C-alpha cells in the first residue's frame, strides 16, 4: 500500500462558549502512522478527533488531511472514517449491511456489496456471520465489525475513539495487537484516542500526551516514557515516583535537586528542558519504580534514597515494595524477580540506589491525578 495520507493540525483552537477545549494544537501526523492522543477524560482529545472527522468546526486554525484544508467540508465528504466509542453499529441492519453501508450510499449493487462484505468478514475472522444482527455478536466481534465497516469506506485516515474501552481486560489486550496488525496490513493512517497509556504505548508509532486542552508532548512511546517533557507527562504515562524540591546546581545535562525529603539528588534533565532549568527553580524529580535497586542500608549519596517500608507485594515477575513517600503518597519500587531470596522489611528502613541517567528532572508542574 501507499505511504498513506498525513494529517496536520495547525494552530487549532476549539472553544465552547467561554470554555477552551483545545488550545493552540500543532500536530503533524505522518502518513501511515499509528498515532495516539493520550490523556485523561475531558482533556480535549475527543474534541480534536471530532474536528478531524468534521463534526466540529474549529474556532481557529486548520485541519489538513493529505495537505488539503478541510475547512467547510462536512464529515460525509472527508476521507476519514470514525470508529465510535460505543461502535454505533446500525442495530437494524445485518452485519454485512452494516459493513457495506458506505457502498450502499454510493449505489453499489447488493451483489457487489455482498462480495466485499465476505472479503472483509474473512479479514476480521468472522467468516459466515454476515447475516447476524449486531445484537447477536459478542463485544469483540462487534468491535471487528465496526473496524470492517470503517475500512470498507476506504478512508485515508481511520479515527478511533476509545474503541476498546467497553471490552473486558483480556479482550482489550487481544484487540490491541489485532488493531496494530490490521493497521500494518492496510497501511493507512490511524488516529487513536485513549486514556489508557498501555494501549497508546503498545500500538502507536507516535503519541501525543494531552492535558486540559494542551498538547504536552509528542513523541514515540519510548521517548514519552523515558524522556517526558512535562511533569504531567511523566506522571500520567506509566507509574512514577515524584520528589519535589528546588534546583541546587546545574551540571551540563544533569542537575542536583535539593529534595524536600531525601536531601540532594542528582538527575538527568529531560531533553526538552535542557538549558531551561536554573538554580533556585522549583523542580520535580521522577524515578520509575523499576529504576531502583537495593543498596546497603544507610548508604549516603546523591543517588541513594532511604525510607521506611510500608507494604510488600509479590506480583510474580516483580516484588513491589511500597515505601514512605512524599505528601502521604507511597513510593513504589519494583524489583525484578531473579530468583533471589527476599526477606520482609516491613516497618524497617531500606536504602535504594538508582542510575542518575534513569532519573528525570523537570520543572515543577501539575501532576496527573489518579
Partner 1 sequence: MKNFSLMRISIWVYLALFFAYLLGPLVIMSVTAFNSPGFPRAAPWECLTFEWFSALFQDERILNGIKNSVLVGIGTVILSVAMGLAGALMLTQIWPKLRATYYTIIIAPILVPGVVIGISTLVFWDRVNRMLGLDADSFLSSGLFLTVIGQSTFIASYCMLVLVARLQRYDNALTEAALDLGASHAQTFRKVLLPFMRPAIASAAVLAFLASFENYNTTTFTFGEYPTLTIELAQKVRYGITPAISALAFIIVLLTVFAALFNEAKIRRQELVAAARKTATVEELETGKLRLPGFLSSNTAAVLLVVVAMATIAVVGTATVYSPAQCIADVKETKRLETELRIQELLQRRADEAARRAAEEGEQSDQAPATDATPKPSNDSGFGNVFNPGTLQDGGTETPEEEPENSGSGGVFDPGNLQSN
Q: Please tell me whether residue 82 binds partner 1 under the rule CB under 8 A.
A: yes
Q: Is 209 in the site for partner 1 (CB under 8 A)?
A: no
**Residue selected from 1, 106, 111, 343 as contacting partner 1 according to rule CB under 8 A:** 106
Stretch that binds partner 1, among 34-42, 69-77, 184-192, 261-269 (CB under 8 A): 69-77
Which is nearer to partner 1, 65 or 233 (by Cβ)?
Answer: 65
Nearer to partner 1, 82 or 277 (CB): 82
61 is an interface residue for partner 1 by CB under 8 A: no
Does 80 help bind partner 1 (rule: CB under 8 A)?
Answer: yes
Q: Residues 136, 264, 308, 355: which binds partner 1 (CB under 8 A)?
A: 136
**Which range touches partner 1 (CB under 8 A), out of 34-42, 100-108, 202-210, 258-266?**
100-108
Question: What is the torsional sign of CA 177, 80, 55, 105?
Answer: negative
Q: In what order do the strands lie in the sheet with 68-69?
A: 19-29, 7-16, 60-65, 68-69
Burial level of 352, CB count in 10 A (0-12/13-18/19+)? buried
Smallest distance, partner 1 to C-beta of residue 36, A = 20
Cβ nearer to partner 1, comparing 101 with 304: 101
Report the distance separating Cα 357 and Cα 50, nearest Å: 40
> Pick from 11, 68, 86, 260: which binds partner 1 (CB under 8 A)?
86
Nearest approach, Cβ of residue 166 and partner 1 (Å): 13
**Longest Cα pair distance anywhere in the chain, in angstroms?**
78
Q: Which three cell numbers stand for residue 208?
A: 501525543
Q: Which is nearer to partner 1, 85 or 202 (CB)?
A: 85
The region of 2-10, 145-153, 228-236, 311-319 touching partner 1 under the rule CB under 8 A is: 145-153
Sign of the torsion angle spanned by Cα atoms 196, 267, 338, 319 = negative
Q: What Rg do the C-alpha atoms of the chain give, in angstroms?
A: 24
Q: In this chain, which stretch among 96-104, 219-227, 245-253, 313-321 interacts with partner 1, using CB under 8 A?
A: 96-104
Binding to partner 1 by residue 252, rule CB under 8 A?
no
Please report whether residue 300 would count as binding partner 1 according to CB under 8 A: no
Instruction: Using the minimum distance from each CB to partner 1, give the nearer residue, 76 or 369.
Output: 76
- The CA distance from 353 to 301, in Å, is 9
The answer to whether 92 contacts partner 1 (rule: CB under 8 A) is: yes
DSSP 369: P
CA distances from 226 to 67, 138, 209, 320 (A): 32, 38, 14, 20
Cell representation of residue 47: 474534541
C-alpha to C-alpha distances, 31 to 148, 157, 204, 244, nearest whole angstrom: 20, 9, 13, 40
Least distance to partner 1, CB of residue 101, Å: 5
Report the 3 state secondary structure along 171-200. Answer: HHHHHHHHHHHHHHHHCCEEEEEECCHHHH
Does 342 interact with partner 1 (rule: CB under 8 A)? no
Q: Which chain residues interact with partner 1 by CB under 8 A?
A: 53-55, 74-77, 80-82, 84-86, 88, 90-92, 101-102, 104-106, 136, 149-150, 153
Amino acid at each position: 500500500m501507499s505511504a498513506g495520507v498525513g494529517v496536520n493540525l495547525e494552530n487549532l483552537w476549539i472553544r465552547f462558549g467561554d470554555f477552551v477545549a483545545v488550545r493552540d494544537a500543532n500536530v503533524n501526523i505522518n502518513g501511515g502512522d499509528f498515532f495516539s492522543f493520550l490523556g485523561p477524560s475531558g482533556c480535549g482529545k475527543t474534541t480534536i478527533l471530532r474536528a478531524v472527522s468534521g463534526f466540529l468546526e474549529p474556532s481557529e486554525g486548520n485541519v489538513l488531511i493529505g495537505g488539503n484544508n478541510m475547512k467547510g467540508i462536512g464529515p460525509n465528504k472527508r476521507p476519514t472514517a470514525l470508529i465510535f466509542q460505543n461502535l454505533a453499529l446500525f442495530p437494524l441492519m445485518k452485519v454485512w449491511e452494516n459493513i457495506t453501508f458506505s457502498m450502499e450510499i454510493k449505489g453499489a449493487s447488493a451483489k457487489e456489496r455482498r462480495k466485499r462484505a465476505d472479503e472483509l468478514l474473512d479479514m476480521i475472522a468472522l467468516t459466515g456471520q454476515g447475516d447476524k444482527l449486531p445484537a447477536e455478536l459478542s463485544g469483540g466481534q462487534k468491535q471487528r465489525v465496526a473496524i470492517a465497516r470503517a475500512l470498507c469506506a476506504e478512508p485515508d485516515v481511520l479515527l478511533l475513539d476509545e474503541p476498546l474501552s467497553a471490552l473486558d481486560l483480556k479482550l482489550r489486550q487481544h484487540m490491541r495487537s489485532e488493531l496494530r496488525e490490521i493497521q500494518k496490513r492496510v497501511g493507512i493512517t490511524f488516529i487513536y484516542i485513549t486514556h489508557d497509556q498501555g494501549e497508546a504505548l503498545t500500538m502507536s508509532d507516535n503519541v501525543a500526551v494531552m492535558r486540559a486542552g494542551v498538547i504536552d508532548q509528542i513523541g514515540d512511546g519510548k521517548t514519552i516514557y523515558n524522556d517526558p517533557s512535562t511533569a504531567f507527562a511523566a506522571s500520567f504515562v506509566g507509574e512514577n515516583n515524584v520528589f519535589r524540591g528546588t534546583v541546587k546546581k546545574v551540571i551540563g545535562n544533569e542537575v542536583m535537586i535539593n529534595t524536600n525529603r531525601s536531601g540532594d539528588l542528582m538527575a538527568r534533565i529531560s531533553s526538552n528542558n535542557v538549558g531551561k532549568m536554573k538554580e533556585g527553580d522549583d523542580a520535580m524529580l521522577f524515578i520509575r519504580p523499576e529504576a531502583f535497586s537495593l543498596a546497603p542500608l544507610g548508604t549516603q549519596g546523591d543517588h541513594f534514597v532511604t525510607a521506611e517500608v510500608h507494604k510488600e507485594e509479590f506480583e510474580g515477575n516483580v516484588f513491589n515494595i511500597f515505601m514512605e513517600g512524599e505528601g502521604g503518597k507511597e513510593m513504589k519500587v519494583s524489583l525484578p524477580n531473579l530468583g533471589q531470596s527476599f526477606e520482609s522489611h516491613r516497618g524497617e528502613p531500606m536504602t535504594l540506589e538508582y542510575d542518575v541517567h534513569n532519573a528525570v528532572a523537570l520543572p515543577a508542574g501539575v501532576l496527573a491525578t489518579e
